Amino acid sequence: MHHGTVTPDIAAGLLALKERIKAAKIPSSKIDETANIAVWNIREFGKVRRTEPAIHYIAEIIGQFDLVALVELRDNLEDLGRVMKYLGDTWRVVYSDWMEDNGGNHERTAFLFDRRAVTHNGLAAEVNGTRVKEGKEWVTQQSFWRAPYMCSFRSGNFDFLTIAMHARWGDSTEARAAELQMLSDWIDTRFASKFVDDHDLIVMGDFNTPKLTDKMFKALVSHGLQIPKPLVNLTVGDRVIGGSNLGEDARYDQILHLPTVPENFTNAGGVLDFYIDDKHIDELFPGKKYTRDKFTYQMSDHMPVWIQIKTDIESFRLNQIIQDSGN
């Protein structure tokens, strides 16, 4: 990545960040063989203007991956444009519209991808609740606070759909569980159709599920979504952590999949810890004396969760053809 001419403080911060990235042990992806994908909730991205150092750091983190689902992106895309500048000409972005009301929080969802490794196949759509007819109108009985965003991609010879979502928060866990159940039910119905663009599905987002054992997470996976093995227990390199929030105690952020291709994942996956602890904030923002809260509005209160997928699945497809023929 070319950051251009930067100040000595930003240069020192980038070097410190690179050490934190190195500690995450993210393997390089290989064209037509593997791709690194991630989900990252960047706190109120676009509402609170980032400083120039933060823009460089966010770009450096995103640049470690080939496809990134970005949630909590706001209606103002200026800071996203600043990040794209440093990512370079090979990067593209596709994003949703925003909702004006407080439930929608003026949020968008975006997919950023390096077209050297990943291409967009054409589909980009919001997921809406099932409609029923009332009188002469077709209406939804239940809606998402922020509509999940679905896109189609190809990497190597692996075509897949991905859905990204930022689930509702609020003080009702029952309502949150119902929203996640609605997504799970929608996936179950849509992916049973022969007209779905592809049956390989990766679901990413901040689902606001504190634990893998709670009713909210169980609703999300009630129709077969699974956690890839490398993400069942979260790690930062060799260090086991309890969550991808800065406090490392909540499993809000997830990458899930419908297991249509056995062993479609490598053994690599985890969390990229750009924070470490309060004592290390000054390494990235010298002299600012940021509290942890102030730091989250420059970087985030969530850390990226990532996984490496296998994109060369031709052998599996050919063997499947033979097995289906009965030979």
Q: Residue 142's pLDDT is what?
A: 84
Q: What is the pLDDT of residues 2-47, one digit of tens each?
A: 899 999 999 999 999 999 999 999 999 999 999 999 999 999 999 9
* Domains defined for the chain, CATH in brackets: 8-325 (3.60.10.10)
Task: Let me know: does 228 contact 269? Beta carbons within 8 Å.
Answer: yes
3-class DSSP assignment, residue 272: coil
**Paired tokens of 223:** 């129709």
pTM: 0.94
Per-residue model confidence as pLDDT tens digits over 169-219 = 887 899 999 999 999 999 999 999 989 988 899 999 999 999 999 999 999
Is the distance from CB of 79 to CB of 49 less than 8 angstroms? yes
Diameter over CA atoms, the chain: 70
One-letter amino acid of 324: D
Residues 14, 60: Cα–Cα separation, whole Å = 8
User: What sections of 196-277 are H helices per DSSP?
Assistant: 215-220
Residues 112, 92: Cα–Cα separation, whole Å: 6
Which value, in Å, is the radius of gyration of the alpha carbons in the chain?
Answer: 20
Supply the pLDDT for residue 262: 62
Instruction: Report the pLDDT value the prediction gives residue 45, as an integer from 0 to 100.
Output: 98
Distance between CA atoms of 305 and 41, rounded to whole angstroms? 10
Q: Provide the residue-wise pLDDT of the chain in tens; the chain has 327 residues.
A: 889 999 999 999 999 999 999 999 999 999 999 999 999 999 999 999 999 999 999 999 999 999 999 999 999 999 999 999 999 999 999 999 998 888 899 999 999 999 999 999 999 999 988 888 889 998 888 889 999 999 999 999 899 999 999 999 887 899 999 999 999 999 999 999 989 988 899 999 999 999 999 999 999 999 999 999 999 999 999 999 999 999 999 999 999 998 776 668 889 999 999 999 999 999 999 999 999 999 999 999 999 999 999 998 776 666 555 556 665
pLDDT for the residue 314: 72
Assign residue 186 a region (left: φ > 0; alpha: ψ between -120 and 50; beta: otherwise). alpha
Q: What is the pLDDT of residue 57?
A: 98
Packed helices 52-62 and 78-87: angle between N→C axes, nearest 10 degrees: 60
Cβ(159)–Cβ(123) below 8 Å: no
* Residues 182, 143 contacting (CB under 8 angstroms): no
